[in-house]
Amino acid sequence: MKKTKIVCTIGPASEDKKVLTHLIASGMNVARLNFSHGDYEEHQGRIDTIKEIRQKLNQPIAILLDTKGPEIRTKKFKDGGVFLKEGSMFTLTVGDELGDENKCSTTYDHLAEELKKGDVVLIDDGLIKLTVREIKGKDVILRVDNGGPVKNHKSINIPGVNIKLPALTEKDTNDLLFGIKNDVDFVAASFIRSKEDVFAIREVLNNNGGEDIHIISKIENRQGVDNIDEIIEASDGIMVARGDLGVEIPAEEVPIVQKDIIKKCNYVGKPVITATQMLDSMINNPRATRAEVTDVFNAIFDGTDAIMLSGETAAGKYPIEAVQTMGIIAESAEGKLASDFRTRSKYINDQSMTSAVSLSTVQIADSLNAKAILTPTSSGYTARRISKYRPNCDIVAYTDKEYVQRRLSLVWGVEAYKIDVFSDVELLYKTIIKSAKDHFHVQNGDMVVITAGIPLGVKGTTNSIRIETVGEHVLKGAGLIRGRVRSGLRIYNKGLSDFKEGEILALTSFDSKAMDLIEKASGVVYSEKAFPNEVEMKLKGLDIPTLVGVESFEGYEDKEKVTLDASRGILYKIN
């Protein structure tokens, strides 16, 4: 199972039902809607399509609403744009006058109040560089250092200057209300600079019925980097938005900042998304560059929970291939996760019982080479705690709430399923083990570790760990001679005149005829705790898997296909 989650931006290239279905089949876990573009009619159509397909496929695809955020942009030009010549002078001003080669208006009326001589201004994601030469009233007069074309509504960045933009614009508030109405699962909040920005968004959500929506704070400027610890604490997750971030801070700092943010999120167990230009060349080409593959691989190696595609799936020529490429890289990287990452992730930084039990669960699962960790969860918290410690096996979460199931779509290594509410612990355990067999790659004989909170359904009460061998009528004993074999089980007290070489011999008593059969058997199971000394020596000489101390063979039929795993001390039926 791919453990790293994939976020895909849905746009003109991917809004078709057929394409969306292929994206989900290729590994998409979260559908991102970029509210910097499009209108409510477009986004409503995409949301309706996503919901229709995820219900049809029975897949918990989450929906992420990405806000436009408090940004500064150029307004309109007379001819749709101009070409700024290097060395020329250019003025940024206020108002709605159409721009020309000498000046243009901006969307922020207080720009002149917050800039000073010598400040650098970048337009169109840093492609155009200007330096402030003079402030005259509400006009900012600049010299063009690097020229080029500038069109309507291009971004304006001012590195190193703390611009006092509001945390929420009117558009953002309306977009949040639209998201609440449509039951989105995540809000990716753009240009977050401090915890207060997160609180402002949280207030809008909480006051309008969006309490269950998780906030993913996008780090896109120097203030966000400087205040990262408080932002992580206030948020449900973080997105490293490398596009604007690479304009606001020196590009060579971005890899270090990315690694640092991922590490901090791993430390507290909150999901982190690495985003922007991960497979940018696949907008136009069917294959990624080697540099892009390395970029994605390293982000996963660093510990990111999710990787994101933007233009690749929103407007690119090869959206399906881009997701497939992401999946291939992810599975390759996950198979080689650095041992130092696993080591540094496995410590407790809080004193909660859930964290202690989650860490113990992962340690037990790793030491026993368990096939999966199964965890019933009412809020998703336990599953996120377990994910924090990055077990070698898969994490399968069970919840009675669909929105919790979808929110876990962003958490590393977690596969979530919806089940009914249970008040009986034993019935719950039987149900989730059966579900793991039916829907997951868990088979009879596999070992699973179950962690849950008792009483059931109470948030924050994770307090139990249980180790189970999957299968009905699993017989347990002591391995006298280790080894593992699969064959038909022959029960000696039912007559064995047709015993064939290579079958497994089950003994409730022992006599000379049984000794003859042992020499033909591929394995032996004995109800007593020990054989006579001479028989034990004979068995060791034959070196065949042998299990002793199995009290009863009830539930097994003669010639039934079984697996004898004497190394683990169990006998079980083959699926």
Rounded to whole angstroms, the Cα distance separating 369 from 358 reads: 16
Q: Which of 515, 494, 467, 508 is nearest to 558 (CA)?
A: 494
Give CA–CA dist 267/426, Å, rounded.
34
Q: Which of 2, 73, 430, 559 is catalytic?
A: 73
Residue type, 450: I
| Overall size of the chain counted in residues | 575
- Look up residue 189 and give its two tokens: 């909040």
Residue-by-residue DSSP string for 268-329: HT--EEEESSSSGGGGT-SS--HHHHHHHHHHHHHT-SEEEESHHHHT-S-HHHHHHHHHHH
In eight-state DSSP terms, residue 252 is G
Strand partners of residue 475: 571
For the record, the structure tokens of 272 come out as 């982190």
**CA–CA gap between residue 213 and residue 206 (Å, rounded):** 9
Listed residue (258, 277, 276, 572) closest to 445, CA to CA: 572
Chain centroid to CA 431: 25
How many angstroms separate the Cα of 211 from the Cα of each of 185, 207, 208, 214, 413? 10, 8, 8, 8, 25
Cβ pair 532, 553 in contact under 8 A: no
Which residues, 6 or more positions from 85, have their beta carbon under 8 angstroms from its beta carbon?
144, 147
At 548 the three-state DSSP class reads strand
- Report d(CA 238, CA 261) in Å as an integer: 8
CA distance 140 to 132: 7
Quote the CA–CA distance of 334 and 326 in Å, as a whole number.
12
Marked catalytic residue, from 3, 32, 568, 573: 32
- Alpha-carbon span 87 to 73, nearest angstrom: 22
Q: Which of 3, 154, 195, 218 is catalytic?
A: 218
For residue 276, indicate whether it is catalytic: yes
- Residues 220 and 115: their CA atoms lie apart, in Å, by 20
Residue whose structure tokens are 């003109």: 12
- Concerning whether 218 is annotated as a catalytic residue, the answer is yes
Active site residue 202: no
Question: Residues 6 or more apart from 196 whose CB is under 8 A from it?
Answer: 167
CB environment 263-279: b (16+ within 10 A), e (fewer): ebbbeebbbbbbbbbbb
Of the candidates 276, 325, 375, 469, the residue annotated as catalytic is: 276
Annotated active-site residue 73? The verdict is yes
CA pair distance 215, 67, nearest whole angstrom = 11
CA distance 210 to 205: 4
Active site residues: 32, 73, 218, 276
